[in-house]
């Protein structure tokens, strides 16, 4: 049973910053990578950022490059997402996810069949006001 504990999020004005954190508290097989995707009701899921635990290699969606930074903690169970220069278009529910076998960060950020290789937490709301 996969369990992820998310923290952070909230509401800020455009140009502000927020930090999301995530910890895998329980898993069946050690994940290879952790990432965040976001979703707005009625719209498609959008991959945001992803990081491999072993190498620290990161992947970002074009929409957040230069503004968001994903970093891993010690071990294979924690990561954070620092979000700067936030825009109203960043408003969404943000979900922390890890793979449970297979998949890749590239596919994750492209939001290609995330559900086939990753599990995620309950999500945290990020709201950016103009």
- pLDDT 10s digits, 46-84: 999 999 999 999 999 999 999 999 999 987 789 999 999
In the prediction, which pLDDT does 104 show?
95
How would DSSP label each residue in 15-54? T--EEEEEEEEE-SS--SEEEEEEE-TTS--EEEEEEETT
- pLDDT 10s digits, 75-95: 778 999 999 999 999 999 999
- With cut-offs at 50, 70 and 90, classify the pLDDT of residue 113: confident
Please determine, for residue 101, whether its predicted confidence score (pLDDT) is greater than 90. Answer: no
Task: Report whether 11 contacts 129 (CB < 8 A).
Answer: yes
SS3 content of the chain, % helix, strand, coil (to 5): 10, 50, 40
């Amino acid at each position: 049973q996969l369990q992820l504990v998310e923290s952070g999020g909230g509401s800020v004005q455009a140009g502000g910053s927020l930090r999301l954190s995530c910890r895998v508290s329980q898993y069946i097989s050690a994940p290879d990578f952790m990432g965040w995707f976001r979703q707005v009701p009625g719209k498609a899921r959008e991959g945001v950022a992803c990081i491999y635990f072993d190498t620290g290699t990161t992947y970002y969606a074009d929409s957040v490059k230069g503004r968001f930074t994903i970093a891993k903690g010690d071990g294979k169970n924690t990561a954070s997402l620092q979000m700067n220069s936030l825009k109203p278009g960043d408003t969404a529910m943000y979900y922390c996810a890890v793979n449970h076998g297979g998949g890749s960060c590239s596919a994750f950020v492209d939001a290609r069949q995330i559900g086939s290789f990753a599990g995620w937490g309950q999500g945290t709301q990020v709201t950016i006001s103009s």
